[in-house]
A and B are shown apart, each in its own frame.
Chain A
Amino acid sequence: MNEIITKEINTSSHAVELQPEPVCARAPVGLLAELTHRCPLQCPYCSNPLELERTNTELSTAEWQDVMRQAADLGILQIHLSGGEPTARKDLEQIVETAAKAGLYQNLITAGVLLTKERLQKLADLGLDHVQLSIQDVDPENADRIAAYKGGSAKKREVARWVKDLGLPLTINAPMHRQNIHSMKAIIDYSVEVGAGRLEVAHIQYYAWALKNRAALMPTLEDFQRTAEIVEEAKERLKGILVIDFVVPDYYAKYPKPCMGGWGRGVMNVTPSGRVLPCHAAESLPGFTFDNVRDRKLADIWLNGDAFQKYRGTSWMKEPCQSCPRKEKDYGGCRCQAFALTGDAANTDPACSLSPMHQDWAKVAALESHTRPPEFVYRRMGKGGTTPHMSEG
């Protein structure tokens, strides 16, 4: 059950997924553009940092347009327009238009609730390629409770229909956790019903807000295993109809995920204020200065920026990673998780069974998932505070 991998690579195929260069990539494949941290939803597992960036620090339209052009020049192929809620930016149209002209493949990662059909039509006309729509559950009451947004669930269903009416491909993204895990089967059915071609059912990864709410979100091992079985069955049954990407919770894994496909290897992230990060949680790491697109070119940051160099490749690794035959498979897992839970970002991610902390860590999940869940700490400006440390478990 530990080897359920999100994206399998079939080597007998004539078209395998493009892999970035090993060790030091010449060019990233994707850029996650966090256009804003504003969002009408307050999901307690938000992947944004606890310290949300304020509106008045956000990059201007012209600055984002410049990022898009620089990204294309650097060799980036896909742009993920994200947030917060990217449609909260009134200039999204101008950014999409520029990115399309630069030849970038554009993916809108949205909660949908702020969209109108006219605006979506306009975005499609300007060159948007794909919509990823999040849902919190299929049960409207529970979904709206998790997002702390009344009526969100009904609106999302409408948005899904618009996406299909406009002929755009649709991905449903359902973050999975203890408080919606019972809906796994219904979420798969929902995705087929609304005409999605792809479903991303990712168990929550416990960083930032999700780490803060870990005890309220952690599923039991048994419940997790049941979802894995449901997904395996559905993948086979829905072959050619729905592509399902399933992400397991780290706490029940044997080996860690190759976070971001390896640090500074294939993906970069630009925050609302223009800071360029190797991953969206990297600001939780101490001792870094993150370059900003306002001061330095994207290509220069990618190739030479301190933050990108720091954990690129494998030379920074300690044991047990350094001598591990898997070191170029999973790159020692997640640096942010290693830091948050061990105090040293160069340590092996405790998600790895070879980490000396793995056993204690797995016990935290067992304990929390069997304890009555606390109330959510909803994602709000200024509500971040501190994260629970492992010793509290």
Chain B
Amino acid sequence: MTGTAQPTRLIVTEATRIVIPRHIKLRHDAGRGVWVILAPERVFSPDPIAVEVLQKCDGQRTVGEIADQLATEYQAPRADILTDVVAMLQDLADKGVVKS
């Protein structure tokens, strides 16, 4: 496998631009009335906060910009929101659900 860089773990920071890869599907399941994330041999059940964050992950906005937006929308301290969002996205990155 010459020429292939060793894969590394994505460490999510304020500056990371997160995308949902093509093979991961965030979808509202009408029958069950819940949101689901379809992934290889996994189905995750995201909570409303995760859904809102994931819908903002367009590869353009940074994690910091997403936190700015949520802080405005929810009139909550930005620092707290940023900590939560980074932790959530790190967890999802480690599960292979999001990448940068």
Contact = CB atoms under 8 A, between A and B. Distances in A.
B59 interface: no
Nearest to B24: A169
A194 interface: yes
A146 to B, nearest CB: 23
Given A169-B21, A239-B9, A239-B94, A29 B88 contact: no
Contacts of B66: none
B9 A78 contact: no
B23 A169 contact: yes
Interface stretch (A11-19, A50-58, A83-91, A217-225): A11-19
Contacts of B49: 14
B1 A15 contact: no
A194 B25 CA distance: 24
A193 interface: yes
Contact of B45 (A17, A130, A240): A17
B9 A171 contact: no
Contacts of B1: 193-194
Contacts of B92: 14-15
A193 B5 CA distance: 10
Interface string B28-49: 0101101011101111111101
B44 A132 contact: no
B41 A77 contact: no
A30 to B, nearest CB: 8
B2 to A, nearest CB: 11
A391 interface: no
A192 B1 CA distance: 11
A7 B46 CA distance: 17
B93 interface: yes
A110 interface: no
Nearest to A241: B7
A198 B50 contact: no
A22 interface: no
A243 interface: yes
B32 A27 contact: yes
B40 A130 contact: yes
Contact of A195 (B4, B9, B47): B4
A26 B30 CA distance: 13
Contacts of B31: 26-27, 75
B65 to A, nearest CB: 19
Contact of A15 (B21, B25, B37): B37
A105 B44 contact: no
Interface in A280-329: none
Interface in A163-177: 167-169, 171
Contacts of A349: none
A241 B10 CA distance: 8
Contact of B88 (A14, A18, A167): A14
Contacts of A77: 29, 36, 38, 43
Contacts of A373: none
Contacts of B44: 15-18
B45 A198 contact: no
Given A14-B47, A75-B31, A240 B23 contact: no
Contact of B40 (A17, A171, A194): A171
B91 A10 contact: yes
B41 A15 contact: no
Q: Residue among B8, B9, B34 with the most chain A CB within 10 A?
A: B9
A76 to B, nearest CB: 10
A107 interface: yes
B70 interface: no
A13 B89 CA distance: 10
Contacts of B77: none
Contacts of B10: 240
Nearest to A193: B1
A240 B40 CA distance: 15
A191 to B, nearest CB: 11
Interface of A: 7, 10, 13-19, 26-27, 29-30, 75, 77-78, 80, 105, 107, 129-130, 132, 167-169, 171, 192-195, 197-198, 200, 239-241, 243
7 contacts: A14-B49, A14-B92, A15-B44, A27-B31, A78-B41, A78-B43, A241-B7
Across the A-B interface, the 3 shortest Cβ-Cβ residue pairs: A240-B9, A14-B50, A18-B45
Given A105-B25, A197-B40, 16 more contacts: A14-B50, A15-B50, A15-B97, A16-B44, A17-B43, A27-B31, A75-B29, A75-B32, A77-B36, A77-B38, A80-B41, A107-B40, A171-B41, A192-B6, A193-B1, A241-B9
